[in-house]
Chains A and B, each alone.
Chain A
Amino acid sequence: NAGVTQTPKFQVLKTGQSMTLQCAQDMNHNSMYWYRQDPGMGLRLIYYSASEGTTDKGEVPNGYNVSRLNKREFSLRLESAAPSQTSVYFCASRRRANTGELFFGEGSRLTVL
């Protein structure tokens, strides 16, 4: 049972380069999320998708785009990476039940030089 799988685990980019973080879940969850984690700031929501075909902005969406490819997959794209986007990124998913908690991937550490 893989749960939530993120790729890549580590990535180094130069300023201005683009990249996509991939996320897939095998739990048949409806909702999927992308968070970033920075020291002293907890987890901040970038984008989420309540269900297949919908996406919504979170607290810090600038500089990012997302695609909910199907029910399983939710990707995060950095079109022109900036040093301020150096962070650890987490994908998470949740079933729709009210008590549903978030299930997280292992995180992706991104460094932008």
Chain B
Amino acid sequence: AQTVTQSQPEMSVQEAETVTLSCTYDTSESDYYLFWYKQPPSRQMILVIRQEAYKQQNATENRFSVNFQKAAKSFSLKISDSQLGDAAMYFCAYRETGNQFYFGTGTSLTVIP
């Protein structure tokens, strides 16, 4: 099985500041897909952003952007202008061209007013 590592179990950020969540993965494939999911206290899993490995340009969705370093097998999530509603557990996920997704253990983000 592929492994996805999130080395930061907990992070905190001041409201309006920027925070970066780390994710690394292990693969020998060249074609794969990466995702960040958000899980607020409601428990609902929500897609934040995704990146196709063949694309060199880093994905961006409003205040959320990624730093995709293919050679380093790194996929970090940057949240700009943090808001109270960003407080959640964040999961990094990896999928090859097959059907299985592999998830990291999550990073709990606290936003301090």
Contacts and interface: CB of A to CB of B under 8 A. Distances in A.
A106 B52 contact: no
Interface residues of B, number: 23
Given A104-B44, A106-B44, A42 B33 contact: no
Nearest to A56: B99
A31 B99 CA distance: 8
How many residues of A sit at the interface, in one of the four size bands?
20 to 34
Interface string B17-49: 000000000000000010101000011110100
Interface stretch (A13-21, A65-73, A74-82, A95-103): A95-103
Interface in A82-98: 88, 90, 92, 94, 98
B100 A106 contact: no
Interface in B65-113: 91, 93, 97, 99-101, 103-106
A53 interface: no
Nearest to B9: A40
Contacts of A44: 103
Contacts of B37: 102
Interface of B: 1, 4, 9, 33, 35, 37, 42-45, 47, 50, 52, 91, 93, 97, 99-101, 103-106
30 contacts: A31-B99, A35-B103, A40-B105, A41-B105, A42-B4, A42-B91, A42-B103, A42-B106, A43-B91, A48-B99, A50-B99, A58-B100, A59-B1, A88-B43, A90-B45, A92-B45, A94-B99, A98-B33, A98-B97, A99-B33, A99-B50, A99-B52, A101-B35, A102-B35, A102-B45, A102-B47, A102-B101, A104-B44, A107-B44, A107-B45
